[in-house]
Amino acid sequence: MPHKAPFEIYPGYFNLNVSGVAGFFGGEEAISAMQTIHLYKHRKWLGWYNSPGSWNVGKKFGLLANSRLWDGLFPGPNEDPAKFFELDGKQGPKYVASRSGSILERTGHLAYLIMQTSKEELGVQVQGRVTKPNKVTIIKTQPIFKESTEKEKSPVRAIPPHSGHHTDVAILPIAVSFTTCALCGWTYDWFCCSMILLGIVSNGMSSLVIGSAHLKLQGVKSAPTAPPGDGMLMDGDDIVLLTGKEENIATITRGKFMLDYEPWVRKRSRKEKRKRSVPGDGMGSTNSNRTSDAEAGLQDSSLDRGLKEGTVPVRDEYAAIGLCSLLLVIQLLGQLLLIPQGTFFGQIMFLASFAASWAYNLYLSSIDKEYIQERLLLNALNLDDQHMRTYILGTRTTAAVFACLMLQPPDISADKWEEQGFKPESIIRNFIPNDTPVWVIWRKKVLDVMGARIRSQEPCHSWLQMSNEDIEGFKKNDKDLLGQLLEDARIAYDLATNEQWLVGEEK
């Protein structure tokens, strides 16, 4: 007699109950993929697939919507879109200007990207003494913006998005989603069919609306008579020397990325100039809230005059993004209710569409967003390999002398440095602030050779030699140290001379 199982499985009543994870599975990957939407070409048109994590995506991007209604539905801080999509907000390295002497302890997101780019460069190893390598990148900035009028507050340039293989890979989740939707309809499983279709529509509409912004580079306007803005970005042992016009360098140090949405997405509304108190909230007494008829009339007339003159500040509500986020949340509620009513085959098809979409989101989120931003920024700044050179120097002293020589005004004598705002000693002190007798003599010799430096003549190595007067009263260790420091300076001098000759030949 065959053994009878304690229970039996009836396929007709088997239920996967995938609704419990439908809106939460793959949420982090979906958010990360959506945050890259402005970096890729045609990315906003490729969201027509049933993406998982609709609840997480809806709650996350609903924070962009900015009004009392949307703040109630999606509570949280309202950030600028560029910061929200991590296109702004990173703190850049310290910047020291070589002409004006001004110092920016913190620069912006663009300077951060430039510094990261320089760190990724392999660089040319310079022969010489090695204690702690310093990487120095020289960037000769190029014109970024067209000539702007005086009325323009700051120049702006559109940034073309990055082209890649994402358009080819997107065929997979789109094809799987539409195929599974059609198969569910073919088997008359309208519950799963409608939920897959709702996922396709909600994700496609969200991608289209959220990705409709144009990525732009906002620069900093400078005066036409402004001197060259040469200076250096300093991040530990990584230094970036920036040479060129003030406007180009100011864009790197103080410019930013911005997202410019279409008016139909922003849906602007007038912003209230003051908060109105709510009766009974305890904010102020009744007498303090009363005003005379004359005062009320004056306030009303001022407000009307401001409305007519267009001076009332406005804010962007991004109502279209709020509606898409609400649709994504509704999608989860529909899945929780209707997916359990579907057939076993329909639930398998629903999971298959999720799996393909999750794989595509994982592919998009695995790509380094900062690297894409770096490539886009270099293209917007019109920089390529011929405008950037990286050297790896063995000591801090070599890096200090090399940076000082490269930032030295080419055709200005030493007696006019102060008039031009060039202070080489302060540049060296940003690298090495030591004031011991050895460092004082070394710094004086470096400044002397810079003052006597003429590119067309032979190298002035004689200025970087020890004399008996220099080492009088020094111990052997101090003599050896001074000799090493002067050798570092000679290496930096030769490298700077060769580098400037190369630049002259390219011109």
What digits encode the pLDDT tens for the residues 39-77? 998 889 999 999 998 888 999 999 999 888 888 889 888
Using DSSP, state whether 191 is helix, strand or coil. Answer: helix
Sign of CA dihedral 113, 114, 119, 121: positive
pLDDT tens profile 119-138: 999 889 999 899 999 999 99
Q: What is the pLDDT of residue 470?
A: 67
The lowest-confidence range among 36-40, 269-273, 424-428 is 269-273
Average pLDDT, stretch 413-440?
84
201 found inside a domain? no
Q: Which of these, 400, 396, 381, 384, lies nearest to 98 by C-alpha position?
A: 400
- 460 band by pLDDT with thresholds 50, 70 and 90: low
Number of CB atoms found within 10 A of residue 413's CB: 10
Q: What is the pLDDT of residue 220?
A: 87
Of 450 and 202, more confident: 202
Look at residue 10 and tell me whether its pLDDT is greater than 80. Answer: no
Q: Is 435 exposed, middle or buried (0-12, 13-18, 19+ CB in 10 A)?
A: exposed
Output the 3-class SS for 398-449.
HHHHHHHHHHCCCCCCHHHHHHHCCCHHHHHHHHCCCCCHHHHHHHHHHHHH
Q: What is the pLDDT of residue 413?
A: 72
The lowest-confidence range among 156-165, 205-214, 317-326, 348-357 is 156-165
The answer to whether 125 and 116 have CB atoms below 8 angstroms apart is no
The answer to whether 50 and 349 have CB atoms below 8 angstroms apart is no
Q: Which of these, 251, 243, 245, 233, lies nearest to 405 by C-alpha position?
A: 243
335 found inside a domain? no
Could you tell me which residues come within 8 angstroms of residue 70 by beta carbon, excluding any fewer than 6 positions away?
62, 317, 318, 319, 322
The answer to whether 259 and 82 have CB atoms below 8 angstroms apart is yes
The answer to whether 334 and 27 have CB atoms below 8 angstroms apart is no
Using DSSP, state whether 103 is helix, strand or coil. Answer: strand
Structure tokens at 231: 């200076």
241 bridge partner residues: 138, 232
Sign of CA dihedral 279, 283, 288, 292: negative
Of 5 and 486, more confident: 486
Q: What is the pLDDT of residue 163?
A: 84
Number of domains making up the chain = 1
The lowest-confidence range among 20-24, 240-244, 364-368, 471-475 is 20-24
Output the 3-class SS for 217-262.
EECCCCCCCCCCCCEEEEECCEEEEEECCHHHHHHHHHCEEEEECC
The answer to whether 317 and 266 have CB atoms below 8 angstroms apart is yes
Q: Are strands 134-140 and 269-270 parallel, antiparallel or unpaired?
A: unpaired
Residue bearing tokens 């559109």 = 158
**Dist CA 73 CA 28 (whole Å):** 21
Q: Which amino acid is at 427?
A: I
Q: What is the pLDDT of residue 205?
A: 95
Look at residue 301 and tell me whether its pLDDT is greater than 60. Answer: no
Of 471 and 268, more confident: 471
419 found inside a domain? yes
51 bridge partner residues: none
Q: Which of these, 353, 413, 443, 95, lies nearest to 235 by C-alpha position?
A: 95
Could you tell me which residues come within 8 angstroms of residue 422 by beta carbon, excluding any fewer than 6 positions away?
98, 99, 407, 408, 409, 412
Average pLDDT, stretch 105-111?
93
Percent of the chain with pLDDT over 70: 80
29 found inside a domain? no
Average pLDDT, stretch 479-483?
87
The answer to whether 261 and 316 have CB atoms below 8 angstroms apart is yes
Average pLDDT, stretch 449-468?
65
Quick one: angle between helices 190-210 and 344-366, nearest 10? 20
Of 472 and 199, more confident: 199
Domain residue limits at 465: 397-507
Q: What is the pLDDT of residue 222?
A: 76
Structure tokens at 359: 């794989």
Q: Which H or E run includes 286?
A: none
Q: Which of these, 261, 276, 273, lies nearest to 317 by C-alpha position?
A: 261
Q: What is the pLDDT of residue 154?
A: 78
Q: What is the pLDDT of residue 314?
A: 58
439 found inside a domain? yes
Average pLDDT, stretch 414-419?
74
Could you tell me which residues come within 8 angstroms of residue 458 by beta carbon, excluding any fewer than 6 positions away?
none
**Dist CA 353 CA 430 (whole Å):** 58
Instruction: For the full predicted model, state whether its pTM sits above 0.75.
Output: yes
pLDDT tens profile 76-102: 888 889 999 999 989 999 999 888 778
Average pLDDT, stretch 403-417?
81
Of 344 and 463, more confident: 344
358 found inside a domain? no
32 found inside a domain? no
The answer to whether 253 and 111 have CB atoms below 8 angstroms apart is yes
**Dist CA 315 CA 325 (whole Å):** 19
236 found inside a domain? no
Mean pLDDT of the chain: 81
